[in-house]
Amino acid sequence: MSNSVFRDLHQPGNPFILANAWDIGSARMLESMGAMAVATSSAALAFVKGDGDLGNITRDVALAHANELNKAVDVPLNGDFENGFGPTIADVVKTIEEAGAIGIAGCGIEDMALPSTEPYAFEVAVERIEAAAEAAKTLSYDFVLTARADGVMHGKYDLDEAIRRLRAFRQAGADVLFAPMPGDMDDVARICREVDGPVSAICAGHFTQNTLAEFASAGAARISLGSSLARVTHRAIFDAATAMFGDGDFSPLSHSIDGSKIEKLIRRG
């Protein structure tokens, strides 16, 4: 799905949950259970590939994965495309053009010089988003560009700088603004208040203790799960394996879900 449906979901103060999946089965389960939009996750995909996060997934792999999930669901699909998969503006433009070729609803571009955790200089970061926005305008449908200021999450700059970047990204043509993992919900509210445009928040780490209503009250338009749900599944594997191989205890397997229920959800009823 690749029209204004995805854009229209972004309503400040009335956020939807952007459900990050990692394969067809998880994407279809989330769709069946109420997800209004699905997204890829670079970290979750890296786990699937047996690799680490931060710049280890190539453009071709990420696009093929997004294309697979997009074809598997009927709701909008957003791509987590890191920094556009390369150091140059041409790399960012190529990523947007190829995202448009597979027809996904939108994607996110961050301001980090991967695989390092160093941010691009302010002017460079803005130029990259401006180029991405211009490329998105040339597509044959309404493509939603999310611009990410990831330096706060990596401890490389403060919230003031994140907001400065998000404002500039908005001026450069970004549709949605995202600074993952600020300090607390007050910081989320400040971002929403001081940035002109729909803001995406993330439900990960300590933010998992907050509610949908609290994100709404802060003014968020979207709540991304990031790799949180994928990590929940890996926690289940870790706990079960620890019990089995450590103590010969198989009881964690009793917490499984009936296979027929999984099949029904994956087949979408």
The token pair at 42 is 């670079």
The pLDDT score that the predictor gives to residue 19 is: 98
Residue 232, CB-side half-sphere exposure with 13 Å CA sphere? 12
pTM recorded for the entire structure: 0.94
pLDDT tens, per residue, the chain with 269 residues = 445 899 999 999 999 999 999 999 999 999 999 999 999 999 999 999 887 766 678 999 999 999 999 999 999 999 999 999 999 999 999 999 999 999 999 999 999 999 999 999 999 999 999 999 999 999 999 999 999 999 999 999 999 999 999 999 999 999 999 999 999 999 999 999 999 999 999 999 999 999 999 999 999 999 999 999 999 999 999 999 999 999 999 999 999 999 999 999 998 75
Q: In sequence order, which residues have a C-beta less than 8 Å from that of residue 54 and are 6 or more positions away? A: 114, 115, 117
Alpha carbon 258 to its chain centroid, in Å, reads 29
**Per-residue pLDDT tens over the stretch 60-111:** 999 999 999 999 999 999 999 999 999 999 999 999 999 999 999 999 999 9
Question: Which residues constitute the domain of residue 142?
Answer: 4-266
CATH of residue 217's domain is: 3.20.20.60
What are 2-27's pLDDT values in tens digits?
A: 458 999 999 999 999 999 999 999 99
Q: What pLDDT was estimated at residue 54?
A: 62
Query: Are 80 and 107 in contact, with CB atoms under 8 Å apart?
Result: yes
Place of tokens 């490329």: 135
Is-cis flag, bond preceding 182, omega within 30?
A: no
The pLDDT of residue 55 is 61
The H or E element containing residue 145 is strand 144-148
Specify whether the CB–CB gap between 191 and 179 falls below 8 A.
yes
Total structural domains within the chain: 1
Residue 41: both structure tokens together? 């996750």
The tokens for 60 are 């071709």
